[in-house]
Structure 1
Amino acid sequence: MTPRTRSRPARVLTQRALNRALLERQWLLRRAKRSAPEAIEHLVGLQAQSPNPPYYGLWTRLEGFRQEELATLLLERQVVRIVLMRGTIHLVTADDARRLRPLVQPMMERTLLAHATYGRSIAGLDLDALVAAGRALVEEEPRTMTELGALLAERWPDRDPNSLAQTLRGFAPLVQVPPRGIWGVGGQTRCTTLESWLGRPLDSSMSLEDLVLRYLAAFGPATAQDVQTWSGLTRLSETLEGLRPRLRTFRDEQGRELFDLPDAPRPDPDTPAPVRFLPEFDNVLVSHDDRTRVISDEDRKRIATRNGMVPGGLLVDGFFRGVWKLRQSRGTATLLIEPYKRLSAQERAAVEEEGKQLLDFAAADAKARDLQFARLK
C-alpha cells in the first residue's frame, strides 16, 4: 500500500473558511500596523491600471496610512508601476519589479505575439532591432506610447505605430514614471525602462517555486488554477507538485485540491469581518479561478465589463455586497454606494461609518462630504 493510499482524507475547507483565510492574509480582518512597502511586498503588488486604486487599497489595509507615504515612495523610486501578472499594471516594490518581470516575461512575449492586431502588425519584424531602438528612445527621455510609436514608425514606416510601441512594452520592462501615480496630480503616462529608472539590472534569482509560495502567503489556500489565474502563467501544476512535500493540502466543498503553506493563518470561519471598501481592480476580486470565496458567480458576471474594468467593491461580513464610486464636483465629495443585496440596519450603519472614514481619507479638502445609497434594482 502506498503512502498516498494510507494517508487520511484531506480536510474540507468551507467557502466561509476560505473567505476568512483570504481576508486574514490580505490584512482585511483588521488594519495592520505595517508600512506601505511591507504591505506592497506582502501582497505581491497591487493592481494599478488607474493612479488612485493603490492608495485606497493601502488605506483599507493599513492603520494610519496617508497618501503622501505612497507618493514619496514613487518619487524616491522605491516602488514602481509596471506590467507584470496577467499582463496588467501593478504597483510593486522596486526589488520585486526586478525579480518578478523575468518570471512573467515569457508570458508577456507570448501574449503580444498572439494578439490579433499587434502580432499580425509585427510579423517578420526584426524584434531585437525594434527592442534596441525602443530602449534607446525611452532611456533618452521618458515618452508616451504615442510619442514612442511615432518615433519607431520613422524607422519602420510600413508598420502600425501603436503596435510598434506595444511590442516594446511587451518585450522590455517599461515603468510608468511620476507624476503618473501621484495622488491628485494629473499628467500623461510616460515610460522608461526599469533598468534605467532604478539604475540596476533585472534580477533572475526568483524561481517559480518562490512565486507560488508568495502567492499562497497572500491568497491561499488555492488550487493550481487559482495561481495560474493570478499570475497569467501556465503549467504551474508541475511547480506545485514539486512543492507538495513542503505544503499542506485540503479540499474545497466541490472536491478540488487546495495547496497551502503549513503555518499560514486559517482563522475560524465565524471570525467577525468588518466592512471594507475595496478599490477598483483589487486583486481580492480577480486573483482566483474560483472567486466564490469572496464574490458570487452572479455578482461576478454583474460587474464584468467588456473593457475589463473592475469597480470598487463593498465587503460586508467578508463577502462582496455591492459597488461604490467617489464623485467630486464644486467642492463637494459624494460617496455613492450601490448595494446588490439588502443591508440590515446594523450592516447599513457599519457601511456608513466606514464610508465616512473613506470620505475623510479621499476628500479631506472638500467643503462638503456626502454619502448616498442607491436603491436596490
Structure 2
Amino acid sequence: MIEKLTTRALNRATLHRQLLLDLVTTPALDVVEHLVGMQAQEPFSPYYGLWSRIRDFRPEELASLLEDRKVVRASLHRATIHLVSAADHGRIEPLLRPFLHRRFASSPFGFVLDGLDSDTFIEAATALAAEKPRTRRELSDRLGARWPDRDATALGYAASYLVPAVQVPPRAVWGKSGPAAWTTASTWLGTAEPATTPEEVVRRYLAAFGPASVRDVQTWAGMTRLKPVVEAMDLRTFTDERGRTLYDVPDGPLPDPDTPAPARFLPEFDNLLLGHDDRTRVISDEDYRRGIVVGGKPTLLVDGFVHGTWKIAGDGLDVELFRPLTSAQKADVSSEGARLLAFAGVTGEVRL
C-alpha cells in the first residue's frame, strides 16, 4: 500500500530540503546549485533568499560570485529570470531552450517573426549580443534598423528569448545598480558544461522540492511531457491528501511533521512558493487567492506556512498578518524581523 503524506508532512519535507528549517553554513554557490537556481526577476531577491537560508550570510558573497562570473542571471525556468551557477547554466539551458522558443512564439511579441527566417534572425541577434552587452532597447534599435518593416520592440524581446544570453553586472550587484544588459552565455562564461538529462533535472528538483507530482516538476521547470521520464525512474512513490501520486528520490529526508518551523521572511517570488503546481504545502488556497504569490509580495512564514507579507520602510519593518499570532510566535517573528533589518542595514522597529 502506498503511504499517504499529510500536507504538514509535505510542508516539513519541503522546508527541510529548501534549507528553511535550520540555517546552514553552506557556501552561497553550493546553495544556489542545491536549489537548482533561484527566481531573480527582482534583482535583489536572491540576496534575501540566501539570507533566509544561510547563517551569517553576507551580500558581498553573492555580489562577488556575480562579478566573478560564477553565477549568472538568465531567462530559464518558466521563461523568467533565474540566478544559477555558471555550470548549471550550461547544464540546464539547452533543455529549456525549446520551451523558451515555444513561449516566445505564443507571447504577444511572437508575431514579429512571421515570415522571417528564424535562423537568420537568431544569427544576427547573437552577433549583436556577443559584440558587447546590450540592453533590450539597444537590441531593438539595432535589429529594427536591420528589419525596418518589423516592430522594433518585439524584435528586442525576440532576441532576449531566442538567444542563449545572460544579464551582466552591475545589474543585481549589492550596493550597485545598472540596466539589464544582455550578452551571449558563451561570451560571458566561455566553454559550457555538457547539457544534463531530463532525468537528472527531475532528480535534483525532487532533492530540493520533493516529494512532488509530475505536474509539480513541470510547473517549476516550464517543461512538458515529463510523465514518462518520471515514471521510468527508480523513485519512491506516495500519495497526498488530494489523492495525487507523488514521487521522491530514494534517500529524500522526511522530517517528523511536528518538527518546529521557525519564522522565515522570504523575498518576492521565492521558489518555495513557485516550485509546485499544488502550493497548499506552503500556502492555503484562501491565502493564495490574495494574489501575493503571482503579485510578487515578500511573504512571512509562521509554523511553515504563509502567514502574512512584509515590507522594509525607512524606519523599520512593516508586517501585515493574515491571522493573529500566539505570544511565542509574535516573539519569534519579531526576533527574525530584527535580524532582517540588520541584514538590510535599516535601523528601526518591527511593526506587527
TM range (shorter): over 0.9
Show the 5 A alignment for 1:358-373: 358-363=340-345, 366=346, 368-373=347-352
Are 1:118 and 2:77 an aligned pair?
Answer: no
Are 1:281 and 2:263 an aligned pair?
Answer: no
Which residue in 1 is equivalent to 2:144? Answer: 153
Are 1:258 and 2:240 an aligned pair?
Answer: no
Which residue in 1 is equivalent to 2:179? Answer: 188
Distance (whole Å) between structure 1 residues aligned to residue 248 and residue 193 of structure 2: 29
**Ranges of 4+ aligned residues in structure 1 off by more than 4 Å:** none
Partner amino acid, structure 1, of 2:35: L
Partner amino acid, structure 1, of 2:247: F
Deviation string, structure 1 residues 59-87 (Cα, Å, up to 9, x no partner) = 01011110000000000000000111100
Of the candidates 85, 88, 92, which is equivalent to residue 100 of structure 1?
92
Which residue in 1 is equivalent to 2:222? Answer: 232
- Whether the 8 Å CA contact 1:195–1:202 is kept in 2: the answer is no
SS, match of residue 348 in structure 2: strand
Partner amino acid, structure 1, of 2:170: P
Distance (whole Å) between structure 1 residues aligned to residue 182 and residue 331 of structure 2: 44
Show the 5 A alignment for 1:41-190: 41-115=33-107, 117-190=108-181
Distance (whole Å) between structure 1 residues aligned to residue 342 and residue 285 of structure 2: 33
Measured after TM superposition, the shift of residue 202 of structure 1 is 6.1
SS, match of residue 338 in structure 1: strand
SS, match of residue 302 in structure 1: coil
SS, match of residue 303 in structure 1: coil
Measured after TM superposition, the shift of residue 148 of structure 1 is 0.7
Measured after TM superposition, the shift of residue 370 of structure 1 is 2.5
Of the candidates 297, 302, 308, which is equivalent to residue 311 of structure 1?
297
Measured after TM superposition, the shift of residue 232 of structure 1 is 0.6
Which residue in 1 is equivalent to 2:336? Answer: 354
Deviation string, structure 1 residues 190-231 (Cα, Å, up to 9, x no partner) = 110111001224632x00000000000000000001011101
Distance (whole Å) between structure 2 residues aligned to residue 106 and residue 202 of structure 1: 18
Distance (whole Å) between structure 2 residues aligned to residue 199 and residue 15 of structure 1: 44
- Whether the 8 Å CA contact 2:160–2:182 is kept in 1: the answer is no
Measured after TM superposition, the shift of residue 304 of structure 1 is 4.5
- Whether the 8 Å CA contact 2:88–2:193 is kept in 1: the answer is no
Deviation string, structure 1 residues 109-162 (Cα, Å, up to 9, x no partner) = 0111112x2111221111111111111111111010001101100010011112
Distance (whole Å) between structure 2 residues aligned to residue 134 and residue 254 of structure 1: 47
Tell me how large the CA RMSD over aligned residues is.
1.1
Aligned length: 352
Distance (whole Å) between structure 1 residues aligned to residue 53 and residue 27 of structure 2: 10
- Whether the 8 Å CA contact 1:102–1:203 is kept in 2: the answer is no
Distance (whole Å) between structure 2 residues aligned to residue 347 and residue 195 of structure 1: 49
Partner amino acid, structure 1, of 2:119: D
Distance (whole Å) between structure 2 residues aligned to residue 301 and residue 194 of structure 1: 38
SS, match of residue 57 in structure 2: coil
List runs of 5+ in structure 1 lacking aligned partners: 1-8
Distance (whole Å) between structure 1 residues aligned to residue 218 and residue 337 of structure 2: 34
Deviation string, structure 1 residues 160-194 (Cα, Å, up to 9, x no partner) = 11211111112111111000010121221111011
Measured after TM superposition, the shift of residue 352 of structure 1 is 0.4
Are 1:321 and 2:307 an aligned pair?
Answer: yes
Measured after TM superposition, the shift of residue 38 of structure 1 is 0.6
- Whether the 8 Å CA contact 1:250–1:257 is kept in 2: the answer is yes
Of the candidates 330, 336, 351, which is equivalent to residue 318 of structure 2?
336
